[in-house]
Structure 1
């Protein structure tokens, strides 16, 4: 057997054939070019998570036969892809002498007027089923079919079957402002940046102010914000924005109560009560120790209930009703889950938890909805208000002249006990979570605790869950950043109880998922950025580039064998930044904040001295690159503590020398903050996602005057040069 290839004997095994038939990897190459074959028990468990029985030789044989029979029994696959501008052939299962017919209903319900022509098969393959041979022919989808989510109707010998026909642009075209030029913007953890009118946590009204000020005072054209996916309805709130309850809906804790239209309907007594609630948490706005989401929400939720109960004008009620109609079952899923959480308590994996014992069709759930109609409508209403306020923030960005405005961030997955999983469990793997295999940074691998979308379910449902999510995110954003975009190609599945080491990759149809991104970006005139840091297979990189998806370039990561790459040699189609939220801001990194934190928390594999020496060597290499490029002076190299600001701006000057189409400056770097927002490998040992914005001396930095700060202005001049 080759060192890097499975043997013929292994490949002929029924279990291996079954796994490969559904996209489950039976071997993989690690980050260090190390070859791994997946153990049988892992494959059996991953297949079970996909709903496929491989528990015995007999079960494997039966599952293989069922897969093949199902594949050939259908006339056409449940979901087919068409790329606008070229003819597409769609395979159709037919009898030996059959000729398929086909027609298309466009997504608006009208018939497609073009001709869908049959194309005879070559007879090269045949499958024996039900005492007859099944072979393949095809139908040709014309090049001029418009983009959209259509329905393909196929007819063969009196049988008819439909498929979701997704017609997509060939690629995501650059917006006009990026064709000959590039854009720059700020990166912000919006919860951490408060104003005098905040409720202790930055909100959508603060975001609107920041977007407008960022454009008018610094010339920025976008702001990359943390994920604002939906969260829990009651405390305690999960701090991480990357573990959402639903990726399709918004986190309504970011609502500003006083910015709601219905606030104006309040009587004197109700208005006074809202003010009292606001005053009870106002002091949190200047707390630089930690963000207290729970205290904020305990007060704000009461204020929102008061405003909700004040009612709406007929025009506003009509708008609310239309919102509920347009969001349909998805809104009911999230609102009902919130109601259950509110009345029955936090969900858990316990056999007695309502999350386990009930579902959307349960009599208990119906009775709960009937018993608390106002509370159920309250959760629908908050989602409507959150959607309005984020749209208002994006509107403020556009009004100020920003080319993109909000760049939304899409998390990898959802909370295993969240609304998306509870309402539609069939959309997710049952008994597996997503993570990463072992590498040089995490020798035990990583388990992110999120259940992966089931690729079999995605295909059967026309990728509805993914389509709805992408569409909803683009509704209030000019650009979209996809966290861990390699997940559109494959995800590391970890069977329950096996540990992160003992998983395997499961493949996804990246062509369809990237096509959906292109379709929604085209409709929104938006931009897509894929977080593709780390080792990216060559075919993945080329696919992302061909689809017009920008990658990411992080200055601290652009190094090899201890030498930093000259930014002038970075790729053009990328979003460039100096740092990321999983490391300290520049000022902290240059002062070895990452060494101090990891040492204090016991996160180092080796000695503190060894890690300190490696950090010092890395810093020297960075300074050498900056000095050689002419972006800092020799004085900076000889006295780092005395030249922190000059070095930080030198790093940004180096970044601006790159050809990257998008440049991002971190607000934390513009104010001198030293603390990291998230320390990987920790939970409550470090205040992840709870660090308020402060300067290098620990003074709170508020939204008011943020972009007037001398350091912010100086950094903006670097980006505008």
Structure 2
């Protein structure tokens, strides 16, 4: 085995994997080398490689404590493994600082500890012992151990086994709608859906009996680059997207005369009409309108005397501390350097001194631009209070789940999370997915991966912050690409998406962290487990209390026949489609296959022909499945050739899924309205109108649309609120 192979194996890279087609794919040497270099290893010198290998092999012995330790709270006895160099000292002492500021301490002789194993190196012998820990409440603590002159500490986390369950939310099977927030149209908004529209959607759908509203990720995007609109490519997974602010709901909007004059001017109203009338969301036009008024409102806000709103804003800043300051500073720097150079998209294009958030130059910028940084913090406060208001509305409206939010798998490498914490990110590499049946060329998502070793050293706090940031508003959280918490597919810098390498992540520890945050926030967790799933992964998810993500299109046998509803697991969320897949109408009519052909997404013509042929039998199998369980009136079934969509099929499919024991069923609004075009086609950027399509029916009229009225009646028949729908 070469030095590169040895180092790659120790870091956690897989030598090979089995792809979706059953082929064994071996990692390329150049890919491993590039990824190791991106992680900071010196791969150009054999001596350096050898040293890195030795350090990795010996690190668990030479460091007294592990990078972090997670104790399983359901267990009776708790032990921490120590590594002790022989003949250093006979006694150890330890101190635990709990999350709530309490301090516990103890000491004992080495001879009294339970010996586990030993290792001899050239310079010394090391022994591993078990140190018994006191039982602590679930949470994030820290332990420091002293052995002679040696002092070491690590995060000590007590965490539960399972997440907050849907059975704890309600004793009946629930349903709701899934919406792309930007796509909402309304009488009030300024060209794209906003948090105010979300409140209206909640109120209206609650009257239908909906228990949840699912949303695209609401993570912050680049405020000064609104054309960057993919919600799955955020600059951070903490804080919120300020593009969604309902300007008219700002607390000082009605009393600010300058803002009122601007908004009521003929020129402004004409621009609002223009962006509302576009076929696709005009993110740049909408941003221009919103932020000019928000700047006016901020100027008015800071000139007001201290009132309840100021106290609320100050409390918001205090609760988010340095993280908010860092985020707002980044926004201000991004804006500043784009004014200098329009093409400065991200911190990597800034002068070297500003690429370090702790530099003297950044500190000076913060002092010189304090008011501008305050403005960006103000926008985050507005977004927070408006999404919190929407969340509160779900409770007031009797929605058991409420908001069902979405956590993206990672962050854009040019954003604030990577800028703020480069030690934990692997700059240059990208998270993606290997070739599969839908994406035969593989996928490079352009998201900067987290170094799993660095994540452990930081006590998993980057993940904790992302979970907390989203769970505070949500009754359910979908974690995109949950498989990435077990193993991630990394694409090396400059290499193609089908040349990636898998790397192992500490899944069991991460699941404990998710469970801890889930229970603290009383938030159900859904793991998006689509794609090639390793054997046993479903059982691992169920044991951790995560709901599986079941999509109708994929729930088939090898024969192509659809699985009956009772085959779906109870601990699952079921839906017809996702944002990356065709709508039901698009699937039935083959609109998605037309797009794939048009965009040259097939590696060869034969594959396109096979897909079109397969869709014919898929349609036949779906009708057969619907007929088998008695949810379709065959006299009203839609034509299959040529394929035409009708309401009978739309309602029958939702009935079919409603019969499943799955605790939650989500209906994409696009399916409720029988829309053909899908939200996003993976592997495309501008070739398809991804993340830009508007709904043809307004929020005000949505629950009055004929197809939606019929759907509401069906769902209340098959999944009524109450304990009798089991």
For the superposition of Structure 1 and Structure 2, which TM-score range results when normalised by the shorter chain?
Answer: over 0.9
Per the alignment, residue 244 of structure 2 pairs with 254
Match of 2:220 in 1: 230
Whether 1:336 and 2:329 are equivalent positions in the alignment is yes
Instruction: Find out whether 1:139 has 2:136 as its counterpart.
Output: no
How far, CA to CA, are the matches of 1:80 and 1:135 in structure 2?
A: 18
Give the conservation status (yes or no) of the 8 Å contact 2:636–2:648: yes
Match of 1:593 among 591, 594, 599: 591
Inter-partner Cα distance in structure 2 for 1:68 and 1:120: 24
| SS in structure 2 of the partner of residue 559 of structure 1 | coil
CA distance in 1, matches of 2:638, 2:708: 25
Instruction: Output the CA distance in 1 between the equivalents of 2:487 and 2:512.
Output: 16
Instruction: Tell me the CA shift for residue 402 of structure 1.
Output: 0.9
Q: Tell me what 1:515 maps to.
A: 512
Q: Which of 661, 665, 668 is the equivalent residue of 1:666?
A: 668
Q: Describe how 1:230-629 pairs up with structure 2 within 5 A.
A: 230-267=220-257, 269-276=258-265, 279-283=269-273, 287=277, 289-311=279-301, 312=304, 313-345=306-338, 346-348=343-345, 353-354=350-351, 358-561=355-558, 562-604=560-602, 605-606=604-605, 609-629=609-629
**How many residues are matched?**
700
Matched, 1:83 2:64: no
Question: Contact conserved, 1:397 with 1:406, CA < 8 A, in 2?
Answer: yes
- Taking the aligned partners of 2:368 and 2:156, their CA distance within structure 1 comes to 41
Aligned equivalents of 2:517, 2:179: Cα separation in 1: 24
Cα deviation, residue 220, structure 1: 0.8
Q: Using the alignment, how far apart are the partners of 2:511 and 2:173 within structure 1? A: 23
State the secondary structure of the residue aligned to 1:316: helix
Cα 1:270–1:657 change in 2 (3 A) is: closer
Q: Is the 8 A contact 1:186 1:667 kept in 2?
A: yes
What residue is the counterpart of 1:6 in the other structure?
none
Provide the secondary structure at the position in 2 that maps to 1:249: coil
| Distance change in 2, residues 1:653/1:434 (3 Å) | same
Considering Cα pairs closer than 8 Å and 6+ residues apart, tell me whether 1 or 2 has the greater RCO.
2
Which residue, out of 661, 678, 681, partners 2:680?
678
Cα gap change, 1:445 to 1:116, in 2 (>3 Å): farther
* Aligned counterpart in structure 2 of residue 108 of structure 1, from 88, 93, 100: 100
Residue 64 of structure 1 is matched in structure 2 by 53
Q: Partner of 1:167 in structure 2?
A: 158
Moved more, 495-504 or 481-490: 495-504
Q: Which runs of 5+ in 2 are unaligned?
A: 718-726
**Deviations 1:350-405 (Å, cap 9, x if unpaired)?**
97644786321334433433333222111111011101110000011111111121
Contact kept? 1:231, 1:237, Cα under 8 Å:
no
Larger displacement relative to structure 2 (118-127 or 321-330): 118-127
Structure 1 residue 476: Cα displacement: 1.2
Query: Aligned to 2:63, which of 62, 74, 77?
Result: 74
Q: Identify which range, 541-550 or 354-363, moves more after superposition.
A: 354-363
Displacement of 1:154: 1.8
Distance 1:398 1:637 in 2: 39
Q: Which digits, 9 at most, give the CA deviation of each residue in 1:78-115, with x for residues without a partner?
A: 21101112123221011347564433221011124899
TM-score computed with the length of structure 1 as normaliser: 0.92
Q: Does the CA-based 8 Å contact 1:182-1:661 persist in structure 2?
A: yes
Instruction: Give the TM-score taking structure 2 as reference length.
Output: 0.92
How far, CA to CA, are the matches of 1:364 and 1:195 in structure 2? 45
The worse-fitting range, judged by mean Cα deviation, of 107-116 and 86-95 is 107-116
C-alpha contact (below 8 Å) 1:412/1:484 kept by paired residues: yes
| Distance change in 2, residues 1:480/1:352 (3 Å) | closer
For 1:351 and 1:656, how far apart are their aligned partners in 2? 49
Match of 1:122 among 115, 134, 139: 115
Contact 1:147 1:167 survives alignment (8 Å): yes
Supply the distance in 2 between the matched residues of 1:638 and 1:221 (Cα, whole angstroms).
30
Residue by residue over 1:692-717, the C-alpha shift from the partner in whole angstroms, topping out at 9 and shown as x without a partner, is 012xxxxxx11113122221121122
Partner-residue secondary structure (3-state), 1:602: coil
1:76, distance to aligned residue in structure 2 (A): 0.5
* Corresponding residue SS for 2:328: helix
The alpha-carbon deviation at position 284 of structure 1 amounts to: 5.1
**Structure 1 residues 273 and 234, CA, compared in 2 at 3 Å: closer, same or farther?**
same
Of 655, 658, 670, which aligns to 2:657? 655
Indicate which of 185, 199, 204 corresponds to 1:208: 199
Query: Are residues 259 and 148 of structure 1, via their aligned partners in 2, closer, same or farther at CA, if it must alter by over 3 Å?
Result: same
DSSP 3-state at the match of 1:560: coil
168-177 or 505-514, which deviates more: 168-177
- Aligned position for 1:713: 709
RMSD: 2.4
Aligned to 1:3: none
- Contact 1:439/1:445 (<8 A) preserved: yes
CA contact (8 A) 1:347 1:417 kept: no
Local SS of the residue matching 1:440: coil
Q: Which residue of 2 aligns with 1:693?
A: 695
User: Is the 1:200–1:296 Cα contact (8 Å) retained in structure 2?
Assistant: yes
Asked if the contact 1:355–1:422 (Cα under 8 Å) also holds between the matched residues in 2, the reply is: no
Q: 1:706·1:712 contact (CA, 8 Å) conserved in 2?
A: yes
Instruction: Indicate the residue corresponding to 1:698 in structure 2.
Output: none
Structure 1 residues 716 and 53 mapped into 2: Cα distance closer, same or farther (>3 Å)? same
- Partner residue of 2:721? none
Contact 1:198-1:285 at 8 Å conserved across structures:
no
Distance 1:642 1:446, change over 3 A: closer
| Cα gap change, 1:116 to 1:516, in 2 (>3 Å) | farther
Q: CA deviation at 1:214?
A: 1.3
The structural deviation recorded for 1:72 is 2.3
In 2: Cα distance, 1:91 partner to 1:393 partner: 46
CA contact (8 A) 2:347 2:414 kept: no
1:190-240 deviation digits (Å, cap 9, x = unpaired): 11012111011000011111112211x211111110001001122443121
Q: Please tell me whether the aligned partners of residues 235 and 297 of structure 1 are also in contact (alpha carbons under 8 angstroms).
A: no
2:13 touches 2:501 (CA, 8 Å); kept in 1? yes
Tell me, yes or no, if the aligned pair for 1:244 and 1:418 is still in contact at 8 Å: yes
* 8 Å contact kept, 1:434–1:494: yes
Q: Distance in 2 between matches of 1:355 and 1:411?
A: 29
> Any gaps of 5 or more consecutive residues in structure 1?
1-9, 695-700
Q: Please say if residues 94 and 106 of structure 2, whose CA atoms lie closer than 8 Å, have aligned partners that are also in contact.
A: no
Change (3 A) 1:571 1:352: closer
